[in-house]
Amino acid sequence: MRQILVAGNWKMNGSNAANQELIDGIVAGVPDGDGFQLLVCPPLPYLAVVAASATGSGVAVGAQNVSEHEAGAYTGETSAAMLKDVGCEYVIVGHSERRALYAESSAQVAAKFVAAQAGGLAPILCVGETLEEREAGTTESVIDEQLDAVLDAAGVAAFDSAVIAYEPVWAIGTGMTASPEQAQDVHRHIRERVAAKDAAVAAKVQILYGGSMKGENAPGLLSMQDIDGGLIGGASLKASDFLAIADAAAGN
Ligand code: PEP
């Protein structure tokens, strides 16, 4: 039985005061139960303070990006060990915004995935197709390329301590959500692709859905067999919105 992971990606939003209010609100409203895990991914400057506020609450903290390098002359970069040092347990790699806006290739994403694990973090590997790719019927081949780059670089066993997030690019921040059935089809495909290498790893790996998830559509998405949680952008910026999804994960 896979645990549900509800992960908030705060992106480049907030301030000291706003992020304090947000984490305090989330911590105060964590639903009862143990079949789920909550995670918040604040912007880099707030990681340590948010991690301190979340200590003992059951809410984990993750980062939104990591260097593929271990240490050294990489101005502006942050290593996995540093993120771990300030209280992170997870890091998002390969978010579509980083692939599109910062030209991160699948090979670079794979290197970040490997570096994250070497530094003691659980990577959340994002994969997903654009609208044009979906309409061209290439959704599965796009995802295969993104996933295979990491399977080849890290090995399938690495997915024993990693998470995959299926995030159709056309659903991110647009209010257009994949239907539960559309999402389930891709999630099943991802699990089968991992299973072709190792069935036991595939049965265990959490596959999150991301793309305009909110309290209203979360129950339908989370009811699907291969959807094990959500990676949430917009609805993670208000405690009550995020907690509505957490409630769905807790079965309330
Ligand atoms: C995201 O950016 O990962 C995301 C899913 O955003 P939103 O929930 O706003 O679509």
Instruction: Give the relative orientation of helices 47-54 and 16-28 as an angle to the nearest 10 degrees.
Output: 20
124 pocket-lining for ligand 1 (C-beta < 6 Å): no
Beta partners for residue 59, in sequence order: 38
Q: Residue 12 has what pLDDT?
A: 98
Choose which residue among 11, 213, 221 to substitute to test ligand 1 binding: the one with the highest number of ligand atoms within 8 A of its C-beta: 213
**Ligand 1 atom at shortest distance from the alpha carbon of 213:** 8
The secondary structure element, H or E, covering residue 209 is strand 206-210
Q: What is the pLDDT of residue 101?
A: 98
pLDDT value, residue 102: 98
**pLDDT, one tens digit for every residue, the chain (252 residues):** 899 999 999 999 999 999 999 999 999 999 999 999 999 999 999 999 999 999 999 999 999 999 999 999 999 999 999 999 999 999 999 999 999 999 999 999 999 999 999 999 999 999 999 999 999 999 999 999 999 999 999 999 999 999 999 999 999 999 889 999 999 999 999 999 999 999 999 999 999 999 999 999 999 999 999 999 999 999 999 999 999 999 999 998
pLDDT at residue 9 in the model: 98
SS3 of residue 133 by DSSP: helix
142 near 191, Cβ under 8 Å?
Answer: no
What pLDDT sits at residue 61?
A: 98
**What pLDDT, on the 0 to 100 scale, is given for residue 252?**
83
Closest to 79 in 3D by CA, of 111, 42, 54: 111
Atom index in ligand 1 nearest the CA of residue 172 equals 10
Q: Is the CB of 9 under 6 A from ligand 1?
A: yes
Residue 189: predicted pLDDT: 98
- The answer to whether the CB of 104 falls within 8 A of the CB of 159 is no
Is the CB–ligand 1 distance for residue 169 below 6 Å? no
- Residue 213 CB–ligand 1 contact under 6 Å: yes
Atom of ligand 1 nearest to the CA of 174: 10
CA of 187 to the centre of ligand 1 (A): 17
User: Nearest C-alpha to atom 3 of ligand 1 is from which residue?
Assistant: 233
